[in-house]
Structure 1
Amino acid sequence: MNRSTDGPADDRTAAEVADTAAAPAEVADAAVVGAGPAGLSAALYLARYNRRVLLFDTGHGRSTHHQVNHNYLGFPDGVPTVELRRLGLAQLARYPQQVRVARHRITGVRGNGADGFVLAAQQHRWRARTVLLATGVLDHFPHFPGWEPCVGRSMFWCITCDGWENRGRRVLVVGHTDAAAGEAMQLHALTDDVTLLTNSQQDGISGKFRARLRAAGIPVLHDRLRGAEAVDGRLRAVLTERGRRIALDALFSIQGATPENVLARELGLKLADTGHIVVDTEQKTSVPGVYAAGDITSLHSHQVTAAVHEGAQAASAANYFLYPPELRAD
């Protein structure tokens, strides 16, 4: 879902610049890679520290889905993630001298905290004194014709975000592991109509979890999804390879997500076994001058609230790193 995109110049906000505006000779204080809630929060904090920021935005990722976030404090009726993203970019547009937004997917980065960093995208190069990675994860959604409009409308990945809205509805959990079984059990606390579809040649659900599912009356179908019936992103049923038609109101995909850590690996950052970037309480990575925030840093707690906090913390740590010695307390 994080595909490369170069947006047309006439679609830019006031904070955005043409692809070549950041000349190689110019050095930004911080390069923020990723414009989801974590990246937007980081760029805002850095701007308010009067730092020159390059924000790289491909226009893809979880914050571009059609999901309504009901967990963010201050929005009683919820806020669509695309609207939250739009508001964030509009907020950054108030700092045109501090923030530049480039519609590029960064494909390479090298350097260190002492000499600075060089970021590359196609034929373009940018320089920055610090780097903040907010690249997120790539979700493994079931693929069928017309699947993308369903994401955030009737196909979800997070019970914390969307479980409440699906109370009493027909829910299909897709996944072949104990994690999927556990999600099905948790959703059963919200609705009595839960079915689990492995959607895999493998069935990795352990005997312990299978017994729990059986006791809860949750059917387990070892089959693969091949199609769906949906209108305007609203699922009505899915079709399987074995000829089943499963009526539903919501699908929860528990097929995992891959951390977008290519740049982290190139920089030599320490990674967890899951591939997520290891950070400390200030969002510092193992390489001085490099910070990370949002879903790329954690296997769990993929919440907008957490991402905004981590972006702010990472920006504050980067700002302190950029202070000359006479301005530091240590």
Structure 2
Amino acid sequence: MSARPAAPAAPVDAAIVGGGPAGLSAALYLARYNRTVLVFDTGHGRSTHHQVNHNYLGFPDGIATVDLRELGSRQLAHYPHARIVHHRITDLEGDADRGFTLHAQGHHWQARTLMLATGVLDHFPHFPDWQEYAGRSMFWCIACDGYENRGRRILVVGHTDAAAGEAMQLHALSDQVRLLTNSRSDEISPLMRRRLAAAGIPVLHDRIKAAEGKEGHFEAVVTRRGLRLELDALFSVQGATPETELARRLSVALTPSGYVAVDTEQKTSVPGVYAAGDLTALHSHQVAAAVHEGAQAASAAHYFLHPPELKAG
């Protein structure tokens, strides 16, 4: 006779799916509101790359995003009613009236409110050991890493006008910029191609086969056609996919670009469900924005959990 799955424990006030800056910020605020919290963290996502963040106020020498996550986890550990659980949520169900049930590999949890901070999946160029370069010399964000690469040899990777636009922006920081489509298709418009040519930015229609470098720092990439392109930094403009699978399970409304639609308090279209971080917008994917949105969502969820007599009329 097979064993039955364990019954869910008593509901927590809030379940947060995602342990990056947005999720940890929300958990900290909720913990300080004396709410019981579970954070589900798989240890994946942008904040687990090798990137050093120089934009976050209070760290004059910058801070590695993995270190920021570690500091956030240590900070949250001061609150025994907030826990980080290393499980991948595979399904969820419920509503604000019945509560929400989260499922993961035979485990179940219940929560009165739910926050989604699942981020996005970046489409970095794939070549042997590409993960070693992500965040060290392969980037996705000018605001985060453009300044450190001024005057250096930069390769922009992408086959659309968005990639062409980023190459033009990077040209303001360096006169050594090239664009590689890294795709079977080349969708750069004639207008953007003329602008690239006027700026002296070559466009190469080829794909990356391998990289040469040491400890995650590029020396060159080799293309399928045999070109060897020396570089110091690669900026990937191949897009990202928002991780909305769980949002779709609850029929949460999405924006036309596929991100979770939220209001100014991070409320989604489903009562009791909030979203924060890169999941909520096509642009402004910054640690500072994620931390702010997590705090905002937590405050909104805390107010939602108040009994009616404590709410303004």
Name the TM tier (shorter chain). over 0.9
What is the deviation of 1:101?
Answer: 1.1
1:262: which partner in 2?
A: 245
2:61: which partner in 1?
A: 77
Aligned match of 2:158 in 162, 167, 175? 175
What is the deviation of 1:87?
Answer: 0.3
Q: Does 1:247 align with 2:247?
A: no
Q: How many positions carry a matched residue from both structures? A: 309
2:21: which partner in 1?
A: 37
SS in 2 for 1:173: strand
Q: Please show how residues 10-49 of structure 1 align to structure 2 within 5 Å.
A: 24-49=8-33
Measure the CA separation in 1 of the matches of 2:49 and 2:139. 10
Aligned match of 1:234 in 192, 217, 241? 217
Aligned match of 2:185 in 185, 189, 202? 202
Measure the CA separation in 2 of the matches of 1:40 and 1:100. 10
Measure the CA separation in 1 of the matches of 2:155 and 2:118. 29
Cα 1:152–1:23 shift into 2, 3 Å? farther
1:7: which partner in 2?
A: none
Measure the CA separation in 2 of the matches of 1:257 and 1:161. 16
SS in 2 for 1:210: helix
Aligned match of 2:36 in 52, 57, 68? 52
Amino acid of the structure 2 residue aligned with 1:34? G
SS in 2 for 1:125: strand
Q: Does 1:145 align with 2:132?
A: no
Q: Does 1:307 align with 2:290?
A: yes
Q: Which runs of 5+ in 2 are unaligned?
A: none
Measure the CA separation in 2 of the matches of 1:115 and 1:35. 25
Amino acid of the structure 1 residue aligned with 2:234? L
Measure the CA separation in 2 of the matches of 1:301 and 1:69. 14
1:3: which partner in 2?
A: none
Amino acid of the structure 1 residue aligned with 2:92? V
Structure 1 runs of 4+ off > 6 angstroms? none
**RMSD of the alignment, in Å?**
1.0
SS in 1 for 2:197: helix
What is the deviation of 1:25?
Answer: 3.3
2:260: which partner in 1?
A: 277
1:4: which partner in 2?
A: none
Give deviations 1:73-95, integer Å, cap 9, x for gaps: 01111111011010000000000
Measure the CA separation in 2 of the matches of 1:240 and 1:25. 54
Q: Does 1:107 align with 2:90?
A: yes
SS in 2 for 1:131: strand
Cα 1:52–1:170 shift into 2, 3 Å? same
Give deviations 1:86-142, integer Å, cap 9, x for gaps: 00000000001x111110110101110111000001100000000000000000000
2:273: which partner in 1?
A: 290
2:73: which partner in 1?
A: 89
SS in 1 for 2:14: strand
Amino acid of the structure 2 residue aligned with 1:64? T
Measure the CA separation in 1 of the matches of 2:7 and 2:72. 25
What is the deviation of 1:172?
Answer: 0.2
What is the deviation of 1:23?
Answer: 5.8
Q: Which runs of 5+ in 1 are unaligned?
A: 1-19
Give deviations 1:136-182, integer Å, cap 9, x for gaps: 00000000001001000000000000000000000000000000000
1:10: which partner in 2?
A: none
Q: Does 1:132 align with 2:115?
A: yes
Measure the CA separation in 1 of the matches of 2:109 and 2:138. 38
1:192: which partner in 2?
A: 175
Amino acid of the structure 1 residue aligned with 2:20? G
Amino acid of the structure 2 residue aligned with 1:210? R
Q: Does 1:119 align with 2:102?
A: yes
Give deviations 1:184-211, integer Å, cap 9, x for gaps: 0000000000000000010000011000
